[in-house]
Structure 1
């Protein structure tokens, strides 16, 4: 009887957690603010503690997770509705470095040491304070860095090169499965894909680990067993004509 009750509680708890996470949105998963970080921990603790306590009935689990999920949604709604509430619940970014100079008072208020600041900067490929023009500590604990002009990466504009359009790659086959919706959005059909694969010596999309289309570059294909020492094949646009 206990095994049956535990199984039932696990299944219902899993469904409720899944529903709350889906409804609450990606912010709960990414833990974009201190509130969502705590909310995610409490949500897991509510279910975990309830499952292994014999004195807590199934209905208490359903009620507690449902109520917690409803409060999460209420806070999210209030954050979207009122800017003042959003600033209070999520906080504002803190400027730690201004015009290349560290704001020591802001650093102390954020409970950060210089060692921690340098560690965070290194994660952004910044190994010296002198490279930084501005640095913000975001609400989720990450930092945003704007480097000095001399240390910024070059762009096409720096070389006076004409701009070119940017396209999003579209995955057409993944794990041997044809993604028909993506193929239709691209304006292609299965016959076209089969013909393109055969140009690269692949008889069927079922043999493909991943196939990706990029406008201007053509079709990139990798099978489950690529030839040893060879790069995955890529069909250029010139070869298609």
Structure 2
């Protein structure tokens, strides 16, 4: 039950490879995938987890192996959090940056398409901000997938 079937260093190496690869996949998939889970997105996350589980464990069935893999993932997550909190460059690489999707009452449809943001999501964000398109000063797609609306000052058109 506690005896490892593989070399002790193999499990942390597997965890590092899987963690780094999935981090790249999630970043490439776009902000909206990470920021707002639809049932489809949740299904993808669950299937991703299942698809990499064997690669993560390498067939290891011991409690020690499972704990070693889990510890490696926790340490990797703490390291990423540490470096992203201390470096804007690393933060931008890992988490992304806000994208300007509209300005002065005009939406940038090419940016919306590139970021895969439906117009209905922008309209919803405008309603939530109690803002008409003509009152919008700027609209941003945040790194976490949310849409932020800045309104023009009162009396400014």
Q: Give the TM-score category using the shorter length.
A: 0.5 to 0.7
Q: 1:130 aligns with which of 131, 134, 138?
A: 134
Q: TM-score, normalised by structure 2?
A: 0.57
Distance 1:58 1:131, change over 3 A: same
Distance 1:139 1:65, change over 3 A: same
Question: CA-to-partner distance for each residue in 1:172-199, whole Å, 9 max, x for gaps?
Answer: xxxxxxxxxxxxxxxxxxxxxxxxxxxx
| Per-residue deviation, 1:125 | 2.9
Question: CA-to-partner distance for each residue in 1:172-229, whole Å, 9 max, x for gaps?
Answer: xxxxxxxxxxxxxxxxxxxxxxxxxxxxxxxxxxxxxxxxxxxxxxxxxxxxxxxxxx
How is 1:1-241 mapped onto 2 (pairs within 5 angstroms)?
A: 34=34, 56-126=61-131, 128-150=132-154
Give the equivalent residue in structure 2 for 1:20: none
Distance 1:105 1:151, change over 3 A: farther
Between the two proteins, the alignment pairs up a number of residues equal to: 108
Contact 2:125 2:148 in 1 (8 A): no
SS of the residue corresponding to residue 117 of structure 2 reads coil
In the aligned structure 2, how far is the partner of 1:95 from the partner of 1:103? 8
5+ residue gaps, structure 2: 1-32, 38-44, 55-59
Contact 2:125 2:149 in 1 (8 A): no
Higher strand share: 1
5+ residue gaps, structure 1: 1-32, 153-241
Q: TM-score, normalised by structure 1?
A: 0.38
| Per-residue deviation, 1:151 | 7.5
| Structure 1 outlier segments of 4+, above 3 Å | none
